[in-house]
Every structure is written in C-alpha cells, then in structure tokens.
Chain A
Amino acid sequence: MGGLGLREVWRFAWRGITANRMRSSLTVLGVLIGVSSVIVLTAVGTGSAVSVQQSIQKLGTNSITVSALGGGRFSRSANSNAKQLTISDATALNDPVKAPDVKSAAPVLQANGVSCTYGNLSSSPQSVIGTWPSYFEAANSPVSAGTYWTSDDVVAGRPVVVIGTTVASDLFGTDSPLNQVIRCHGQSVTVVGVMKTKGTTGFQDGDSIVIAPITFIQRSMSGYGSISSIQVEANSATTTTAAMDEVTAIMDAQHKIKAGGSADYRVLNQASILASSNQSGHTLTVLLGIVAAISLLVGGIGITNIMLVSVTERTREIGIRKAIGAPKIAILSQFLIEAMLLSLLGGLSGVLLGVGISHFTILGVKPVVSLSSVLLAFIVSALIGLIFGGWPANRAASLRPIEALRYE
C-alpha cells in the first residue's frame, strides 16, 4: 500500500464515513430498505404458501374421496341411468386383492338439518354423518377423549356418537361430554368420544360434526337410500395414485361403466389439491420475489447514486491526497473500505429489520424467512456498494492530481 499500513487505510475510511454523517446515513438507509424489503416480501410469499399447505395437510394426503357425479340436481336430464353410491360400493372397495393399496374404505351418509340438545342447550352441527369405524382413520380424524364406536355398534345400529369440539362446547361448555346422553333429531344418543380439534377452513368448521354408526343414521334419520360419498384411505402417501386407479377400476365394474365411457362418480385426492395449491403458492412467492427484486433494484440505484455523488463530491479531496503523495492503491482501498463498511452496516441492519418485521403476522400471513433471500439481499447490496463505490473512486484516483483538483 505504498508504505501506508492497512490500519491507516481503515482509519482514513472511518474518518471519511464520520466526516459526513448525513451522506453516510443516507447510504446505509438505502441499503437497509432494499435488504429488509426483499426479506419481508419473500417471507410473506413463502409464509402464505406454507399456511395453505398446512391447512390442506390437516385433511390428510392419503385420503381419497369418491362422490356421486351430479347425484342431485342434474342427474335426471344429463345421465338418466347414473347410479348413486351405495353401501355395496364401499364394501367392494375393501378388497385386498383387487385394491391392495387401499387401507380402508368407509361409506359416508350425510343427514341434513339435524340439531342436537342437552338439557336446555342446543347445537346445530354443520354435518351429521353415519359411517364405519374405518372412517376415523381415513379422514385423518383421531379421537382426543374417549374412544370411537366399533363395528359391533354398526352391526347393532346402536345410538352412540363421537362429537366434534364445537358441538361439545355448545352443549357441555368445559364439562366432559363423555357418556352423557344427548338428543339428536328426537333420538337419545350416548357420547362416547370427542374428536381432536381440526380447525376451520374457510366457512367449513371441521369441529362442528357428529359421527354415528351408519346403520343408526339410516334407521333413525335418513332412510336406506343412497350414501353421500365414500371415504377411502390409501396405505401411504406414495401409493395414493395407485390406490386411486384401483378405486376407479372397482367403481367402473360396480357401476358397469365400459372402457372409455363417462363415469357417474368422481374420485378426488387431497394430494392433487395440494399439488395445485403448491403451484399457486409458488406463483405467489415468485410474484412477491419479483416485487422484492424491483425494490432491491430501486434501492441499488439509490445506493449507486449516493456513491457516485459522494465520490464526485470528493474528487477534489482525491486530488489533494494525490498531490501530497498518496499512491493510487491507498486512495482506492480507502474508498472501497468506506463503501464496504456502509454496505455491510446497511445490509446487517436490513437483515435485522427484515427478520424482525417477519416475526409479525402481515396481512393474515405468518411470514417464513428463507436463508437464501437473506443471503441474496445481503450479497447483492454489498456488491452494489462495492462496485458503485469502487468504480467512480477508481476513476477519480486514476486522474492526474491537477485534473482531480480542477474537477467541478
């Protein structure tokens, strides 16, 4: 460094920074805003994608739902021989030979407009369903208190129910509902279990539910007609696609659908919904990423501008330093260290601010900070500072002293 120690250069750089506090703080502010906005925006994007994923994962990725196509309103006109789903469809799906990837299949019978009472308290569950015990596994719905009823209860059509937490708190408050007798649709039923809380998805309250043996619902509430859907569970998340193919084959046979004919039922899987929501979550992240990149760019232009102005402003000073014997390398390293210190200071405080802001919920989204966005924002801002601080400094330091001194 031409006789000048590195410590001296650092001292000069520090003096340069503190000599003009306004200019220095503006530079730091520019970097800070750029870096923190990139971090926060990408964190919000990732956060919203993650929250969509989580709410879908709650439903269970192994779950397959078979439902009748146009079973209600459109059936007669569109497809006169469309068959409804029946209990025998569900029985046929529980076939370890034809459907090795299916763990269980349970019919689901929905009873409408049912309300339940206990003493003078009442509750109107969003769904009252009759099914088989395997439903509890298939729908990813474990019981948190008590147990669920058994196959025996289904065979005997016993009046036993498992209720969701919303129904439980409607009727019992904080008391235990276990083994209490409530009245639903004029029938006395015994509560044997309470479902684990599932949470709300949109308007769907997953906890406003009453689940009884299907035979009991048929006998007392809905009659012995068709069922609403069949809840199928695959052996594992990886065999879901195979299980869906097997379900389709069996259902085609059950409903006598010829190859290439249009089915009168629909097979739906949570994984496919998950995949499409991942897709839209990804789109959102990319979109916010672009917004963030633009703000980094704008921040970068700000830094560039301040650096250019400050070096131009100091070209005279560079001329003086050269006139009294400063070698080019000493001037260059001083300005590079100044630029680096300012960028690092701005970058670090930007990371702190960005990560800090990301601890709050923003627009209903819990942001998830990704390391890559932190690194990217930090490196880009540091590079901008170095390049646009170093380049004009290099230009000025290459001038003859008299040219630098005359610079206006």
Chain B
Amino acid sequence: MTTQTATQKSLVVKVEGVTKVYGVGETAVHALRGVSLEIEQGEFVAIMGASGSGKSTLMNILGCLDIPTQGDYWIRNLNVAELDEEQLSVVRSQLIGFVFQSFNLIPRTTAANNVELPLAYQGISLHKRRERAREALASVGLADRGGHEPHELSGGQQQRVAIARALVTKPAMLLADEPTGALDTQSTKEILELLHEINRSGATVIVITHEEEVARAARRMIRLRDGYVVEDVKWVA
C-alpha cells in the first residue's frame, strides 16, 4: 500500500517513524526520535540543525550506510529493511552518491582511480570508466589532476574529487554531509555551484549544512532538533 503511494508521487525517499538509538540502557543515545519525510525526485534539500541534532545519523540512514533502530525507509519503491547485503550494495552503487565531510578518498590511490572505482564495482569496462572518470573530473574542474594522489591535493580539490566520484555513476540522489565544512569560502562557493549543477541535470540533492546561505540556495529546508523534524519549508525559486 505504502509502496503504491511512493510510486504515485514519484518519491525518491520516503521515511516513516525512523528512530536511531546508539548504545543500550543507561548510556543509550536517542539520535533520532521518530522522523518522517518524503522527498521527490529532483528536489534540492538542505538539512540544518544544531550539532548533535541527528543530521549525520539521518543522512547515513538515507545513504544506506547505517540501519534505523525502528521505522521504515523506502528508496524509490524498495523497502530497504527487506534488502540483503548484496542488494544493498547494488542500491549504494546504482542509486546513491555520497559525499563526506572528511572527503574519504582512498589513500595512495590517484584521483582518477578513486573516481573510477564506483564504476568498476558496477562492472563497467576499463576503457569506458577511464573515459567517464575523466569527464567527471573535468566537470569538477580537475581535468589536469587525475594522476595526483589525495595527499597531493588541497582540501577543496579533494572534496571536488569526492564529488566527482559521487556523481560519476549518475546517481538518482546525491547525499552530501557538510561537504563544505572543512573548506574556505571560495571553495564553498564552487562546491555549492557544482551541487546545483548536478541538481539541474535531474538528480535529487540532499545536503547537510550549517550555513544559512547554503540553505537559502536550496528549494527546501528541513531543520532537526534533538532527533525530531521541527521545520520543513519549501519555497519556489
């Protein structure tokens, strides 16, 4: 029944009553206390909230990197709780692009090799993925840095490599957890522009941010506090 509703509205994300509890008993931390959300294909969503409000916890669940304690989560019309380990890896590979605050590039591996990695796990031929990795790097303005290893790149450049890696598979949604948290204003601007470009090409973009101007640039803002959604506003650009 719920599956039907999801397809009707062309939802890409549907979250219902999701909670997340870390630890047990006395020391248990309730990071999410019952979150329900619907996000449509092509939206640009900013998630805001104070430190510790549960933003990253929610994002990790949306990216299938973690599982909720309770509640349901559908991507497109797939009930994530019903997927096995292998199907989950296919979802991560085909539908999701994830950008971390701390870049998370594989060390001692060139930018080009980092970017082509998700394609390799999709079984795309070496020749094709080289080509697409080159294109993705060019689209983030790093056409000439493919041969460099992460430690030879600036923070902004590393984050752009990470974004290239996330968008190279042309995912249905791109999740970015404070992608500009470690960057200066100039790099922040460039990264944001990149995210909007990706959004314009059709992908759903969900970004966690502390900065009001980032949120203003989005078309929807969700605010979390103590594990609850306290604000969810959309405005027409």
Task: Kindly state whether residue A237 has any CB partner on chain B within 8 Å.
Answer: no
How far is B106's CA from A402's CA once the two chains are assembled, in angstroms?
A: 15
Task: Kindly state whether residue B107 has any CB partner on chain A within 8 Å.
Answer: yes
* Residues in A neighbouring B90, C-beta threshold 8 A: 2, 325, 327
How far is B64's CA from A322's CA once the two chains are assembled, in angstroms?
A: 10
Judge whether B109 and A19 touch: CB under 8 Å. yes
Q: Describe A's contact surface by its main secondary structure.
A: helix
* Residues in A neighbouring B67, C-beta threshold 8 A: 400
From B118, which residue of chain A is reached at the shortest CB distance? A324
Judge whether A321 and B65 touch: CB under 8 Å. no
- Distance from B160 Cβ to chain A, minimum over Cβ atoms (Å): 16
Judge whether B93 and A325 touch: CB under 8 Å. yes
Q: Tell me how many residues of B have a C-beta within 8 Å of chain A.
A: 33
Judge whether B65 and A402 touch: CB under 8 Å. yes
How far is B174's CA from A303's CA once the two chains are assembled, in angstroms?
A: 41
Contact of B165 among A5, A19, A324, A326 (CB under 8 A): A324
Task: Kindly state whether residue A174 has any CB partner on chain B within 8 Å.
Answer: no
* Residues in B neighbouring A322, C-beta threshold 8 A: 65, 89, 92
Q: A321-B117, A324-B118, A405-B65 are in contact. Are A5 and B104 (CB under 8 A)?
A: no
Task: Kindly state whether residue A261 has any CB partner on chain B within 8 Å.
Answer: no
Task: Kindly state whether residue A323 has any CB partner on chain B within 8 Å.
Answer: yes
Task: Kindly state whether residue B85 has any CB partner on chain A within 8 Å.
Answer: yes
How far is B90's CA from A120's CA once the two chains are assembled, in angstroms?
A: 100
From A329, which residue of chain B is reached at the shortest CB distance? B86
Contact of A327 among B86, B96, B109 (CB under 8 A): B86
Q: Tell me how many residues of A have a C-beta within 8 Å of chain B.
A: 28
* Residues in B neighbouring A12, C-beta threshold 8 A: 120
User: How many A-B residue contacts, CB cutoff 8 Å?
Assistant: 85
From B120, which residue of chain A is reached at the shortest CB distance? A8
Judge whether B121 and A324 touch: CB under 8 Å. yes
How far is B86's CA from A316's CA once the two chains are assembled, in angstroms?
A: 20
Task: Kindly state whether residue A401 has any CB partner on chain B within 8 Å.
Answer: yes
- Distance from A387 Cβ to chain B, minimum over Cβ atoms (Å): 22
Q: A324-B121, A327-B86, A400-B67 are in contact. Are A19 and B98 (CB under 8 A)?
A: no
Interface residues of B in 87-134 (CB under 8 A from A): 89-90, 92-94, 96, 98, 100, 104-109, 113, 117-118, 120-123, 126
* Residues in A neighbouring B179, C-beta threshold 8 A: none
Judge whether B65 and A325 touch: CB under 8 Å. no
- Distance from B3 Cβ to chain A, minimum over Cβ atoms (Å): 24
Task: Kindly state whether residue B188 has any CB partner on chain A within 8 Å.
Answer: no
Q: Mark A343-375, 1 if CB is under 8 A from B, else 0.
A: 000000000000000000000000000000000
- Distance from B71 Cβ to chain A, minimum over Cβ atoms (Å): 17
Judge whether A323 and B121 touch: CB under 8 Å. no
- Distance from A134 Cβ to chain B, minimum over Cβ atoms (Å): 81
How far is B60's CA from A319's CA once the two chains are assembled, in angstroms?
A: 12
- Distance from B187 Cβ to chain A, minimum over Cβ atoms (Å): 21
Contact of A4 among B63, B85, B121, B169 (CB under 8 A): B121
From A19, which residue of chain B is reached at the shortest CB distance? B108
Judge whether B104 and A327 touch: CB under 8 Å. no
How far is B169's CA from A319's CA once the two chains are assembled, in angstroms?
A: 18
Task: Kindly state whether residue B66 has any CB partner on chain A within 8 Å.
Answer: yes
Contact of B121 among A3, A19, A316, A401 (CB under 8 A): A3
Judge whether B106 and A321 touch: CB under 8 Å. yes
How far is B106's CA from A210's CA once the two chains are assembled, in angstroms?
A: 83
Interface residues of A in 229-277 (CB under 8 A from B): none
Task: Please name the 7 residue pairs, one residue from A and one from B, whose CB atoms are nearest each other, closest first.
Answer: A325-B93, A3-B123, A19-B108, A327-B89, A325-B92, A401-B65, A402-B65
Interface residues of A (CB under 8 A from B): 2-5, 8, 12, 15, 19-20, 316-317, 319-330, 400-403, 405
7 CB contacts below 8 A, A to B, read A2-B123, A8-B120, A19-B107, A321-B106, A325-B90, A326-B89, A327-B90
